[in-house]
Amino acid sequence: MTRIWVTLATRDERDWGHLPPAEERAQAVRAAEVAGLEGVVAPYDLGGEESTVLVGDALRHTRWAQALHEFHVAAFNPVYAAKIAASFQRFSAGRLAWAPLVTAPTTSQRRPTSTSADDWYARADEFLTVARGVWTQETFDFDGTYYQVKGGGFREALAGLPFPRVHLTGSDDDALALSAKHADVHVFASAQEVAKRGPLVVEQARALGREVQLGIRLSVLVRESADEAQAAADRDRNLDLVGSYAQVADELGRLAAQGVGTVILDVRPRIEETYRIGEHLLPLVRTTTPDLETTGVR
């Protein structure tokens, strides 16, 4: 089973120094929706549009597509991040997913500051513990280095919502350890990383009594034939995967056999290529469709 997502533009595809036209982004969201993909990824990009705004807009104008909210753990305190997420879940019948970033660049943070990767992973561990804690417990206390909560916990209309599926990234030991403890999906940057580090994160999670699924982020170009794909790719940027619909579907099948259930595709131009994936690639890939009846949202 494979969940296929596409990333949204935070900048203009044709001119990286500018922001994307709003209507074009709205159409890219609609493309993922009608093409039957799992959802759209709103990326964290310091030099582009802000992802919370993209997520809200995407959820309002879709019925099925999920929205994966990528944000830096420095951006919000964890209670407030969870509060925003709770509204997104309520307004969308549970179609929000989370991708908190730990070591991505940020130009600001609140004190006490994190100065090393170790610090950032320690902060992220606290962040995710607090966010899930206030979400799932009606009374929650926490006394950490970075965050303190007393008498916390979501009640009333905020109680009982599904916590967003957590997607984490990275390939070093700290990243895998954080995922083993907190992630639902660990998203790697290449097939090599999946092969090398995938089994390890799954095993570490199992040791904690948890299950982590694997994911991958790929830039792809697909056409009816391998020749056509290659000809188009020659004019394009560096791509992870180029081939016919059948070839790319086979590759996704091989990844699925290694446990990769989540595939985040970067395709350009987004609207046209999202339609192409929905109409030609998706039928060849064993996918899941979100079952809203089982999300637990009223």
Partner 1 sequence: MVDVYWRIGTHGDQPTLRRPLTPTRGDWGTYEPGTITPGRRAGRDDGYTYVDHMADVAKAAEAAGFVGGLLPSFPFTDDPFATAALLARETRTFRFMVAYQPGFLDPVHAARLSASLQRATGGRLTYNVITGGGGPQQTWWGDTVAHDDRYARTAEFLDALKGAWGTEPYDLDGRFFDVRGASLPPELAAQPVPEVYFSGSSPAAIETAGRHADYYLSWLEPFSALPEKFDAVRAESASYGRTPRFALRVEILARPTEEEAWAEIERAWPNVDKAKLSFDGKGDSVGAARARSFIKQPVTGPRDLEVEPNVWAGFHLLRGGPVFGLVGSYDQVAERLDQLVELGTDAFILAAVPHLEEAYRIGGEVLPRVSFTRTNSLTTTLRSAS
Q: Which residues bind partner 1 (CB under 8 A)?
A: 11, 17-19, 22, 26, 46-50, 52-57, 59-61, 71-72, 74-80, 83-84, 86-88, 90-93, 106-111, 113, 130, 134, 142, 147-158, 298
Closest separation between CB of residue 271 and partner 1, Å?
A: 18
Q: Is the dihedral of CA 211, 294, 286, 218 positive or negative?
A: negative
Structural tokens at position 108: 């600001």
Residue 226 CB burial class (10 angstroms; 0-12, 13-18, ≥19): middle
Contact 295, 162 (CB under 8 A): yes
Shorter beta-carbon distance to partner 1: residue 77 or 247: 77
Residue 108 CB burial class (10 angstroms; 0-12, 13-18, ≥19): exposed
Specify the long-range contacts of residues 208-211, CB closer than 8 Å, at least 24 apart: 208/180, 208/181, 210/180, 210/181
Residue 43 sits at φ, ψ, to 5 deg, of -80, 150
Q: Which amino acid is at 92?
A: S
